[in-house]
């Protein structure tokens, strides 16, 4: 097991290296230049001033030199500084990860709880009216554009009823609240975003769960369990559910990188300062160091997530051995 | 009957309130109340709060409250003293001597002196500093500190826009000496001399300022200024309704159609004034079709600008005839926009040799069809719609137009800078000083420079240089009025419109007066009566 782990971890390094070369090449080949300074298309900003800034950022060097410089810094865990505001890339990413991670974790837990329950209960009542209405419900959530649902809810709950804040993650007076009030304040702000993102994600897990469960319920060992007179509850929750949950573990492992990824539309609408907005704005401004930083972290997490999925699979399923 | 009674009772309350108010005023002598906070909602996040690096509008707006320049523009767009209480310009125009205010203190208590001015200048011309504003300051030969409160600036040649370049915020030497301006912590913890001092900046959420009680023009009435970043226009509007923000800029659609209800009339004041910018169609003057003046003038006749303003801005804008702020002294009001006249356009095109020989509705000359592409940037619905109206109107005179919309960064570096376009629909923001050397001078056509249409007129070149060397306002007015007239005749751009700025602000804020400079010029005099204050601590 340890040897397997080591082998996989070492294998990640060349893979990661390859990914950085490709992404570095692609973002530099894409048309457009860093606009940190010329975004406003301002005649007060002279050509000379812009060239000087490009030089200070090292953009006038050949591409391979720029890449080597970047790798050298990366080896010291230095992702460089942003072209837009000259702040360290790590700092810019670090201040946004907790928010995105928090929202994604909360909505993932919600999706798991509700999605698994819907999946199991639908499978048990396969083909019933309940099953079919749940199908419609989760697909409605899947099909509904997030921005539309978000705006409607903000208008009704936030503006008309005035019971939840419209956007943002904290109140203006947050710093003066007591701890308990602060927790409630954040919860009130996150209620709508978490609901909206969870509603969209229900379909995936619940459908997976349902089809696994339907499949498992037809197995011989379930018939055996029923035949020996176990209560239906025990049959479903002890024997069937455990087996049906196995593939969900894989999905969870694969969704690890998604935890730090945010959606720009979603974050813009709720004005949440998360990773999606950071990445989108960086791409639009051709802020190469930030783009590379986010991509490297994303790639690393994807590779680790895959590994994690494999390991946890082996851990929960005795039939699988990693060598 | 019921409405009648209601009206009576309303009149009664208003009357009582008025009497009460009058009484209070009479007893106390009118003085606005201190307190409350204003929450301004906007789409953009500031990049830095170092004035010499702030090249985006969000950073500029916030820096403007924290820092002062040596000079500033007053409500009628005249240059007046700010940190300088006055200045002298030498006969030959080569020296400007600024006399600084005494007794001004930085927000940390240190005195402001001429050395801070010198320090700011050095930062602006230091080749290692990533400032975008070095251009105007490169014209300076030497800056001399005469004493603590006198600075003499020597220019290489007379340079009148130099005076307005000193609206640049002055930075404190004692806090920044020896710091790397590119990476200093100061960018997110600024200390200035201005009416508001920095409190906090939560990335992607808000920037918060508190009033500077020792401000040299007096303590601002509003205690806190909160700049909230809400990157979505629809959310901004919902927040405005819900009370989460007090001030936003409306879109024409919101101003015309979505803010007419009683709720809005009772709770908000809307303002409207020409913005500092204009939208135009720029031709590639190297193109053989657009090189012909008659063709450009024909297009001017063929496009109904009023119609574009009605359709795209819902009437909230005005026709533009030249590249100056409509309310400024430089704008030549005698230049009148031509009347929409498609017949005249057809005649002019015919004179230029364009005829529809094959009867397909599109003109030809020397076997080439008159078909061209307008490019504009993605994400600007107003420009897209404007292009569509132009497309339709030009079709009527026999010109085929295609529209291509391109993402901003590629648009600038691949198409504008490299001059790969037939015609481009864009807008320019306008600075308070009318100097427009970089946009119209014939040599400013290198890749990345701003005369990308390739305009060249020796007389305009001469006038542009003259305008830069002249300080006398009367003389400059004459020069820029002339430039305005020539540009409108030459039509290197099809000047389209100046959109209106459309701020909307909660009614509790009083003392706001629209002037040619907009509404922000007297922000420190805005106030909220005690009884209406919302954020009380």
pLDDT at B4 over 50: no
Answer yes or no: is B268 within a domain. yes
* Min Cα separation A40/chain B (Å): 6
Cα distance from B258 to chain A (closest Cα, Å)? Answer: 14
Closest residue in A to B445 (Cα–Cα): A47
Question: Is residue B189 domain-resident?
Answer: no
- Does pLDDT of B12 surpass 60? no
Query: For B227-276, how does the pLDDT look when each residue is reduced to its tens digit (9 = 90+)?
Result: 999 999 999 999 999 999 999 999 999 999 999 999 999 999 999 999 99
- Which of A27, A31, A33, A43 has the most B C-beta neighbours within 10 Å, making it the best mutation to test the interface with B? A43
Q: Cβ–Cβ of A43/B431 closer than 8 Å? A: yes
Q: Cβ–Cβ of A36/B37 closer than 8 Å?
A: no
Q: Which residues contact B351 (CB under 8 A, 6 or more apart)?
A: B294
With cut-offs at 50, 70 and 90, classify the pLDDT of residue B347.
very high
Q: What is the pLDDT of residue B516?
A: 92
| Helix, strand, coil distribution of chain A in percent, nearest 5 | 75, 0, 25
Contact status of A158 with chain B (Cβ, < 8 Å): yes
Residue B21 inside a domain? The answer is no
| Residue whose entry in the numeric block shows the structure tokens 């085929």 | B400
Q: Closest partner residue to B410 among A31, A40, A43, by Cβ? A: A31
CB B201 within 8 A of CB B207: yes
* Burial of A323: CB neighbours in 10 Å, binned 0-12, 13-18, 19+: exposed
The rounded percent of chain A whose pLDDT value lies above 70 is 98
Long-range contacts of A45-49 (CB under 8 A, 24+ apart): A45/B55, A45/B132, A45/B133, A45/B135, A46/B134, A46/B135, A46/B438, A47/B446, A47/B448, A47/B449, A48/B134, A48/B135, A48/B138, A49/B131, A49/B132, A49/B133, A49/B134, A49/B135
**Co-location of B387 and B411 in the same domain:** yes
The mean pLDDT value for B170-197 works out to 95
Cβ neighbours of B48 in A, within 8 Å: 85-86
B377 and B449 in one domain? yes
Please write the tens of the pLDDT for every residue from A170-189: 998 888 889 999 999 999 99
* pLDDT 10s digits, B159-183: 999 999 999 999 999 999 999 998 8
pTM: 0.88
Q: Does the residue B517 lie in any domain?
A: yes
- Of A202, A172, A17, A38, which is closest to residue B130 (Cα–Cα)? A38
Do B259 and B218 lie in a common domain? yes
* Nearest CA-CA partner of B302 in B249, B340, B248: B340
- B281 and B387 in a single domain? The answer is yes
Of B57, B232, B409, the CB nearest to A284: B409
Q: Do B206 and A92 touch (CB under 8 A)?
A: no
Q: Is the pLDDT of residue B5 over 60?
A: no
Domain with residue B58: its CATH number is 3.40.190.10
Closest Cβ opposite residue B412 in set A38, A268, A270 = A38
Same-domain pairing of B406 and B335: yes
| Confidence class for position A35, pLDDT limits 50, 70, 90 | low
Interface mutation target, options B38, B41, B47, B199, chain A, most CBs of A under 10 Å: B47
Chain A from 282 to 301: CB within 8 A of any B CB: 284-286
In this structure, what CATH number is given to the domain that contains residue B338? 3.10.105.10
In-domain check, residue B392: yes
What are B103-145's pLDDT values in tens digits? 999 999 999 999 999 999 999 999 888 888 888 999 999 999 9
CA distance A300 to A310: 16
Please answer yes or no on whether B244 and A170 come within 8 Å at the CB atom. no
Closest Cα partner for A177 from A167, A166, A189? Answer: A189
Q: List residues bridging with B210 in a β-sheet.
A: B197, B224
In order of B69, B290, B446, the CA distances from B117 in angstroms are 9, 47, 33
Helix (H) or strand (E) holding B282: strand B277-283
Quick: pLDDT tens for A219-254: 999 999 999 988 988 898 888 998 888 888 778 877
Closest chain B residue by Cα to residue A264: B231
- Quote the pLDDT of residue B406: 94
**What does the mean pLDDT of chain B come to?**
92
Average pLDDT on B352-363 reads: 93
Q: Model ipTM?
A: 0.86
Q: Which helix (H) or strand (E) element contains residue A22?
A: helix A2-29
Cβ distance A268 to B228 less than 8 Å, yes or no, reads no
Percent of chain B with pLDDT over 90: 85
Domain that holds residue B139: 68-173
Residues B146 and B207 in one domain: no
Contact B130 A44 (CB under 8 A): no
Q: Residue A84: which pLDDT band, with cuts at 50, 70 and 90?
A: confident
Nearest to B135 among A46, A53, A268 (CB): A46
Q: Do residues B408 and B492 both lie within one domain?
A: yes
- Quick one: B331 and B464 in the same domain? yes
pLDDT tens-digit readout, A90-140: 999 999 999 999 999 999 999 999 999 999 999 999 999 999 999 999 999
Q: Which two tokens stand for residue B14?
A: 């208003």
Asked whether residue B469 carries a pLDDT value surpassing 60, the answer given is yes
Residue B367 phi, psi (nearest 5): 80, 5
Report d(CA A322, CA A317) in Å as an integer: 11
What are the residue boundaries of the structural domains of chain A, listed by start?
2-75, 99-316
Structure tokens that stand for B40 in this block: 């301004």
Task: Identify the DSSP state of B322.
Answer: S
Asked whether residue B485 is assigned to any structural domain, the reply reads: yes
Q: Which chain A residues contact residue B182 at CB under 8 A? A: 56, 86
A134-168 pLDDT, tens digit per residue, is: 999 999 999 999 899 999 999 999 999 999 999 99
Sequential DSSP letters for B187-220: GGS---SSSEEEEEEETTTEEEEEE-TT-TT---
What is the reported pLDDT for A1? Answer: 73
* Kind and range of the H or E run holding B151: strand B150-155
The structural domain count of chain B equals 3
Residue B470 lies in a domain: yes
Higher pLDDT among residues B321 and B9, named by residue: B321
Residue A319: CB atoms within 10 A of its CB come to 7
Alpha carbons A201 and A211: distance in angstroms, whole number: 17
Could A43 and B450 be called an inter-chain contact, meaning their C-beta atoms sit closer than 8 Å? yes
Closest C-alpha among B186, B183, B162 to residue B173: B186
DSSP string covering B386-403, please? HHHHHHHHHHHTT-EEEE
Residues B343 and B484 in one domain: yes
- Residue B375 CA, chain-centre distance (Å), reads 23
| pLDDT, tens digit, 9 for 90 and up, residues A258-267 | 888 778 888 9
Residues of B in contact with A37 (CB under 8 A): 55, 130, 132
Q: Vertex B301, ends B297 and B304: CA angle to 5°?
A: 135
> Does the pLDDT value for residue A8 go beyond 50?
yes
Tell me how far apart the alpha carbons of residues B478 and B480 are, in angstroms, rounded to a whole number: 6
Q: What is the CA radius of gyration of chain A?
A: 24
Residues linked to residue B270 through DSSP beta bridges, in sequence order = B504
Quick one: pLDDT at residue B6?
47
Q: Three-state SS for B432?
A: coil
Q: Classify residue B53: in a domain, yes or no.
A: yes
Residues B356 and B469 in one domain: yes
For residues B93 and B47, state if they share a domain: no
Distance from CA of B152 to the nearest CA of A (A): 23
In which band, very low, low, confident or very high, does the pLDDT at B146 lie, cut at 50, 70 and 90?
very high
Choose from A33, A46, A154, A264 for mutation: most chain B CBs within 10 A. A46
Give yes or no for A271 touching B (CB within 8 A).
yes
CB B70 within 8 A of CB B86: no
User: Does A35 sit within 8 Å of B535, measured CB to CB?
Assistant: no
DSSP B10-73: HHHHHHHHHHHHHHHHHHH---PPP--EEEEEESPPP----GGG--SHHHHHHHHHH---SEEE
Of B238, B229, B254, B242, the C-alpha closest to B503 is B254
Q: Tell me which residue in B56, B203, B239 faces A166 most closely, judged by beta carbons.
A: B239
Least confident of B22-36, B87-101, B282-296, B355-369: B22-36
A81 min Cα distance to partner chain B (Å): 9
Q: pLDDT at residue B22 above 90?
A: no
Contact across the interface for B230 and A38, Cβ inside 8 Å: no
Residues B155 and B291 in one domain: no
CA gyration radius, chain B: 26
CATH number of A99-316: 1.10.3720.10
Task: For residue B235, give the nearest of A50, A95, A269 by CB distance.
Answer: A269
CA distance, residue A242 to nearest chain B CA (Å): 43
Q: What's the CATH code of the domain at B97?
A: 3.90.76.10
Residue B3: its pLDDT value, please? 44
The DSSP annotation for A106-169 comes to: HHHHHHHHHHHHHHHHHHHTTTSHHHHHHHHHHHHHHHS-HHHHHHHHIIIIIIIS--S-SS-S
Main-chain dihedrals φ then ψ at residue B371, nearest 5 degrees: -135, 125
* Nearest-Cα residue of chain A relative to residue B50: A85
Distance of CA A279 to CAs A92, A282, A293, B308, B315, Å?
A: 11, 5, 10, 36, 37
Position B158 confidence tier, pLDDT thresholds 50, 70, 90: very high
Helix, strand, coil tally for chain B in percent (to 5): 35, 20, 40
Closest CA to B37 of B269, B247, B233: B247
Q: Quick one: pLDDT at residue A168?
A: 92
Pick the closest to residue B162 from B96, B206, B214 (CA basis). Answer: B96
Contact A45 B48 (CB under 8 A): no
């Amino acid at each position: 097991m340890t040897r397997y782990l080591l082998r996989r971890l070492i294998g990640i390094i060349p893979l990661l290296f390859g990914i950085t070369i490709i992404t570095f090449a692609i973002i530099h080949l894409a048309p457009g230049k860093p606009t940190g300074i010329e975004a406003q298309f301002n005649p007060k900003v002279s050509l000379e001033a812009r060239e000087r800034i490009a030089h200070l950022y090292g953009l006038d060097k050949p591409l391979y030199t720029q890449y080597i410089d970047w790798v050298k810094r990366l080896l010291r865990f230095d992702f460089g500084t942003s072209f837009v505001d000259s702040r360290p890339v790590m700092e810019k990413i670090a201040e946004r990860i907790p928010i995105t991670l928090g929202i994604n974790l909360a909505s993932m837990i919600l999706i798991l709880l509700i999605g698994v329950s819907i999946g199991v209960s639908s499978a048990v009542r396969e083909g019933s009216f309940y099953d079919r209405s749940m199908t419609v419900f989760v697909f409605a959530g899947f099909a509904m554009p997030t921005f539309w649902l978000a705006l409607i809810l903000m208008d009704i709950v936030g503006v008309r009823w005035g019971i939840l804040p419209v956007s943002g993650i904290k109140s203006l007076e947050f710093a003066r609240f007591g701890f308990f009030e602060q927790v409630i304040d954040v919860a009130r702000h996150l209620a709508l975003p978490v609901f909206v993102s969870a509603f969209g994600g229900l379909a995936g897990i619940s459908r997976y769960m349902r089809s696994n469960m339907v499949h498992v319920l037809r197995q011989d060992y379930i018939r055996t369990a029923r035949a020996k007179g176990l209560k239906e509850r025990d049959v479903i929750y002890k024997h069937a559910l455990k087996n049906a949950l196995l593939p969900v573990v894989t999905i969870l492992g694969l969704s690890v990188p998604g935890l730090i990824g945010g959606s720009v539309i979603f974050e813009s609408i709720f004005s949440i300062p998360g990773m999606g907005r950071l990445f989108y704005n960086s791409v639009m401004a051709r802020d190469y160091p930030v783009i590379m930083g986010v991509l490297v972290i994303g790639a690393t997490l994807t590779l680790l997530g895959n590994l994690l999925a494999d390991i946890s699979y082996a851990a929960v399923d005795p039939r699988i051995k990693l060598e | 009957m019921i409405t009648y009674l209601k009206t009576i009772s309303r009149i009664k309350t208003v009357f009582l309130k008025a009497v009460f108010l009058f009484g209070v005023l009479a007893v106390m002598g009118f003085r606005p109340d201190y307190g409350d906070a204003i929450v301004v909602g906007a789409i953009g996040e500031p990049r830095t709060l170092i004035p010499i690096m702030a090249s985006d509008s969000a950073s500029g707006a916030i820096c403007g409250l924290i820092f002062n320049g040596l000079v500033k523009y007053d409500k009628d767009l005249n240059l007046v003293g700010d940190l300088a209480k006055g200045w002298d310009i030498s006969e030959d125009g080569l020296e400007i001597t600024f006399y600084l205010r005494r007794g001004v203190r930085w927000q940390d208590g240190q005195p402001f002196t001429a050395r801070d001015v010198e320090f700011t200048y050095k930062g602006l011309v230091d080749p290692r500093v990533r400032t975008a504003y070095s251009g105007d300051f490169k014209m300076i030969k030497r800056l001399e500190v005469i004493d603590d409160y006198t600075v003499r600036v020597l220019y290489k040649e007379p340079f009148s826009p130099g005076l307005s370049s000193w609206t640049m915020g002055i930075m404190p030497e004692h806090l920044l000496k020896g710091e790397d301006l590119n990476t200093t912590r100061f960018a997110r913890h600024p200390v200035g001399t201005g009416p508001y001092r920095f409190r906090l900046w939560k990335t992607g959420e808000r920037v918060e300022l508190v009033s500077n009680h020792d401000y040299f023009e007096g303590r601002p009435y509003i205690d806190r200024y909160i700049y909230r970043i809400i990157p979505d226009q629809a959310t901004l509007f919902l927040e405005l309704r819900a009370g989460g923000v007090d001030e936003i800029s409306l879109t024409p659609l919101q101003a015309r159609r979505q803010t007419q209800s009683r709720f809005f009339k009772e709770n908000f004041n809307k303002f409207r004034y020409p913005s500092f910018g204009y939208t135009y169609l720029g031709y590639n003057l190297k193109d053989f079709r657009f090189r012909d003046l008659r063709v450009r003038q024909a297009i001017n006749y063929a496009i109904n600008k009023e119609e574009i303003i009605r359709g795209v801005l819902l009437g909230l804008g005005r026709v533009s005839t030249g590249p100056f702020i409509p309310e400024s002294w430089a704008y030549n009001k005698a230049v009148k926009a031509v009347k929409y006249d498609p017949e005249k356009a057809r005649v002019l095109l015919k004179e230029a040799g364009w005829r529809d020989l094959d009867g397909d509705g599109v003109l030809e000359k020397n076997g080439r069809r008159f078909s061209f592409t307008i490019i504009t940037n993605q994400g600007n619905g107003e420009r897209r719609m404007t292009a569509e109206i132009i497309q339709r109107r030009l079709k009527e005179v026999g010109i085929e137009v295609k529209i291509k919309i391109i993402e901003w960064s590629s648009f600038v570096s691949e198409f504008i800078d490299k001059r790969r376009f037939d015609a481009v629909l864009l807008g320019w923001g306008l600075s308070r000083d009318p100097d427009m050397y970089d946009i119209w001078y014939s040599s400013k056509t290198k890749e990345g420079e701003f005369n990308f249409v390739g305009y060249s007129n020796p007389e305009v070149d001469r006038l542009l240089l003259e305008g830069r060397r002249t300080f006398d306002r009367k003389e400059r007015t004459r020069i820029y009025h002339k430039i305005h007239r020539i540009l409108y005749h030459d039509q290197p751009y099809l000047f389209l419109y100046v959109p209106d700025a459309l701020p909307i602000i909660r009614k509790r804020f009083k003392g706001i007066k629209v002037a040619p400079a907009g509404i922000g010029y007297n922000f420190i005099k805005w106030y909220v009566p005690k009884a209406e204050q919302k954020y009380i601590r």
